[in-house]
């Protein structure tokens, strides 16, 4: 954003003064010439007098008078310069003004404007303020409120006026693609994705792909996402617009859609919801340390005991999330399970989370929780050899394998929005096809070829 608020110069007044001066000098010159020649030419015809006024020495003296008037130097006051101030730890607007030699009534009058100017009371170390002053008066102040908005305060007729300017943001599409060789995080970062985008990618396909169990070397992903620019500067990455994940040869695609109610969700290219009533895993990133096994030997008791759930190994303190919308049925200790939370999902489904280190503060029986909401944290309470989560999934009174059980899906896009979605889906699907074509071309090139396209 460019500011060009230089001090206004009284140019019209000086121009008028120059014109008056020139006219005056011209009048004086002409009057002197006329006076000097009047007596000598009193008896000459009028037709002969006009050319004599501009001939010889008279013309030279006239030109010299005009040039002297035009080249006469006029004093022009210099516009005050900007001062850049970097906020240091402990700085306030009052200490900054004091250090600049500006009296307290200046910053007091500024804050009385209210609105966005009150943000100047919450200055943070590392921020910058630009001021322009004349003597002990502030003429203008510029302060970036955030990456998009800038506060501009100016003195007008001995009073302050404030305006907040919002920069124009340009949205640009970018693509990234990669192949799983070690982990989703490592290979996502190698393809140019941030940790946040990798987490979003895992969340989008988390209903169909268990990233703790199903991930294989050679699996592929492609992402089309939004980038936000202010001028030529990229200020941040935006939303994932479309994505593809190929897991063990099976392709899953997701297209972003904003509903009429403003709700954001991802759907298949045909408009079916990717969201299911339950997500596969209650942890974002983990590995299965003990699978569902009805004849497993217990590692501590050393007896054959059915393992009616799945153990997910994770670091102590890892957040545990509810796999579906539910009501809390139990919070407390259960023998060898240690700290346990049981969630009731309607009348048919129930999930159990065991060996927690602690519960989410305020969690209580009868409370409603949403899918993906944190309910506790990984630990090793009860009979556990290391930090992990024991997770069980019950349908009716029967325990089932949460890894393989078929999950019911959420509702598809409504008919009133389907036509609009299919137009967007067609465009995004074509972009994903282009990304895949670029990936295949890159694979045919030397190993130094990049996997990210902009």
pLDDT tens digits along 88-130: 999 999 999 999 999 999 999 999 999 999 999 999 999 999 9
In a domain, 406, yes or no: no
Out of 114, 133, 166, a domain closes at: 166
Residues 401/292, Cβ–Cβ less than 8 Å: yes
With a CB cutoff of 8 Å and minimum separation 6, the contacts of 419 are none
For 116, counting Cβ atoms within 10 Å of its Cβ (0-12 exposed, 13-18 middle, 19+ buried), the class is middle
Q: Give the CATH number for residue 187.
A: 3.10.450.350
Same domain, 189 and 155: no
Place of tokens 């955030």: 146
Q: Does the pLDDT at position 295 exceed 70?
A: no
Same domain, 360 and 432: no
Same domain, 202 and 301: no
The rounded distance, in Å, linking the Cα atoms of 232 and 230 is 6
Same domain, 100 and 129: yes
How would residue 145 be classed by pLDDT, with cut points 50, 70 and 90? Answer: very high
Q: Which of 5-14, 156-165, 373-382 has the lowest mean pLDDT?
A: 5-14
Closest alpha carbon to 283 in 342, 367, 213, 194 = 213
Closest alpha carbon to 146 in 131, 113, 124, 170 = 124
Out of 166, 183, 202, a domain closes at: 166
In a domain, 282, yes or no: no
For 118, counting Cβ atoms within 10 Å of its Cβ (0-12 exposed, 13-18 middle, 19+ buried), the class is exposed
In a domain, 307, yes or no: yes
In a domain, 408, yes or no: no
Q: Does the pLDDT at position 256 exceed 70?
A: yes
Closest alpha carbon to 412 in 278, 277, 280, 270 = 270
Residues 348/320, Cβ–Cβ less than 8 Å: no
Residues 375/322, Cβ–Cβ less than 8 Å: yes
Q: Does the pLDDT at position 266 exceed 70?
A: yes
In a domain, 5, yes or no: no
- What was the pLDDT predicted at 267? 94
Task: Read off the pTM.
Answer: 0.52
Determine the structural domain holding residue 356 and report its residue range.
Answer: 287-400
How would residue 408 be classed by pLDDT, with cut points 50, 70 and 90? Answer: confident
Q: Does the pLDDT at position 370 exceed 80?
A: yes
Q: Please state the domain count of the chain.
A: 4
How would residue 176 be classed by pLDDT, with cut points 50, 70 and 90? Answer: very high
Same domain, 341 and 264: no
Same domain, 322 and 388: yes
Residues 374/349, Cβ–Cβ less than 8 Å: no
3-state secondary structure of 413: coil
In a domain, 152, yes or no: yes
For 91, counting Cβ atoms within 10 Å of its Cβ (0-12 exposed, 13-18 middle, 19+ buried), the class is middle
Same domain, 377 and 424: no
Closest alpha carbon to 287 in 207, 373, 378 = 378
Same domain, 182 and 268: yes
Q: What share of the chain is helix, strand, coil (3-state, %, to 5)?
A: 25, 35, 40
Q: What does R_g of the chain's alpha carbons equal in angstroms? A: 39
Q: What angle do CA 14, 15, 18 make, to 5 degrees?
A: 85
Closest alpha carbon to 176 in 244, 76, 75, 79 = 244
Q: Give the CATH number for residue 304.
A: 2.70.70.10
Give mean pLDDT, residues 306-320. 87
Same domain, 237 and 384: no
Tokens of 234: 């990229």
The rounded distance, in Å, linking the Cα atoms of 122 and 111 is 12
In a domain, 213, yes or no: yes
Tokens of 412: 């598809």
Alpha carbons within 13 A on the beta-carbon side of 131: 21
Closest alpha carbon to 3 in 150, 183, 114, 199 = 150
- What was the pLDDT predicted at 284? 82
Residues 128/144, Cβ–Cβ less than 8 Å: yes
Neighbours of 29 (CB within 10 A): 19
Q: Is the dihedral of CA 41, 45, 50, 55 positive or negative?
A: negative
Same domain, 128 and 216: no
What secondary structure letter does DSSP report for 65?
A: H
Tokens of 452: 């990210």
The rounded distance, in Å, linking the Cα atoms of 227 and 169 is 10
The rounded distance, in Å, linking the Cα atoms of 83 and 134 is 12
Give mean pLDDT, residues 2-6. 39
Neighbours of 195 (CB within 10 A): 10
Closest alpha carbon to 199 in 156, 237, 235 = 237
- What was the pLDDT predicted at 233? 85
Same domain, 252 and 188: yes
Q: Does the pLDDT at position 217 exceed 50?
A: yes
Cα distances (angstroms) measured from residue 76 to each of 9, 39, 50, 80, 136: 8, 44, 39, 12, 21
User: If you average pLDDT over every residue of the chain, what do you get?
Assistant: 80
Q: Please state, for a pLDDT cut of 70, what percent of the chain lies above it.
A: 75
Out of 121, 137, 166, a domain closes at: 166
Same domain, 26 and 65: yes
Alpha carbons within 13 A on the beta-carbon side of 304: 2
In a domain, 405, yes or no: no
């Amino acid at each position: 954003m460019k500011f060009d608020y230089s001090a206004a110069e009284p140019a019209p007044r000086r121009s008028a003064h120059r014109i008056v001066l020139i006219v005056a000098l011209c009048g004086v010159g002409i009057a002197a010439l006329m006076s000097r020649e009047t007596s000598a030419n009193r008896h000459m015809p009028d037709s002969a007098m006009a050319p004599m006024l501009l001939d010889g020495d008279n013309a030279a003296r006239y030109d010299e008078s005009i040039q002297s008037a035009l080249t006469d130097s006029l004093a022009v006051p210099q516009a005050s310069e900007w001062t850049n101030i970097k906020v240091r730890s402990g700085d306030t607007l009052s200490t900054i003004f004091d250090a600049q030699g500006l009296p307290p009534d200046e910053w007091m009058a500024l804050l009385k404007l209210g609105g966005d100017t009150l943000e100047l009371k919450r200055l943070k170390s590392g921020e910058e303020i630009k001021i322009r002053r004349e003597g002990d008066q502030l003429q203008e102040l510029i302060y970036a409120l955030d990456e998009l908005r800038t506060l501009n305060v100016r003195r007008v007729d001995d009073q302050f006026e404030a305006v907040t300017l919002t920069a124009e943001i340009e949205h640009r599409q970018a693509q990234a693609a990669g192949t799983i060789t070690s982990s989703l995080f490592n290979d996502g970062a190698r393809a140019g994705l941030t940790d946040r985008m990798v987490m979003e990618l895992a969340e989008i396909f988390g209903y169909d792909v268990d990233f703790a169990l199903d991930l294989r070397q050679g699996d592929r992903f492609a992402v089309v996402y939004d980038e936000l620019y202010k001028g030529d500067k990229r200020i941040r990455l935006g939303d994932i617009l479309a994505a593809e994940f190929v897991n063990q040869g099976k392709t899953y695609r997701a297209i972003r859609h904003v509903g009429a109610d403003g709700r954001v969700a991802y759907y298949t290219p045909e408009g079916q919801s990717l969201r299911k009533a339950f997500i596969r895993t209650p942890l974002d990133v983990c590995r299965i340390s003990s699978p569902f096994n009805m004849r497993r030997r217990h590692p501590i008791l050393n007896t054959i005991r059915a393992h009616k759930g799945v153990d997910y190994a994770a670091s102590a303190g890892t957040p545990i999330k509810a796999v579906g919308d539910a009501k809390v049925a139990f919070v407390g200790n259960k023998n060898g399970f240690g700290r346990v939370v049981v969630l009731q999902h309607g009348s048919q489904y129930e999930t159990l989370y065991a060996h927690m280190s602690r519960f989410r503060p305020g969690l209580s029986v009868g409370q409603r929780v949403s899918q993906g909401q944190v309910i506790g944290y990984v630990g090793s309470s009860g009979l556990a050899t290391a930090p992990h989560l024991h997770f069980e999934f019950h349908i009716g009174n029967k325990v089932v394998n949460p890894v393989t059980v078929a999950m019911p899906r959420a509702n598809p896009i409504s008919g009133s929005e389907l036509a609009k979605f299919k137009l967007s889906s067609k465009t995004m699907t074509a972009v994903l096809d282009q990304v895949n074509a670029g990936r295949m071309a890159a694979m045919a090139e030397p190993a130094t070829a990049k996997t990210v396209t902009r």
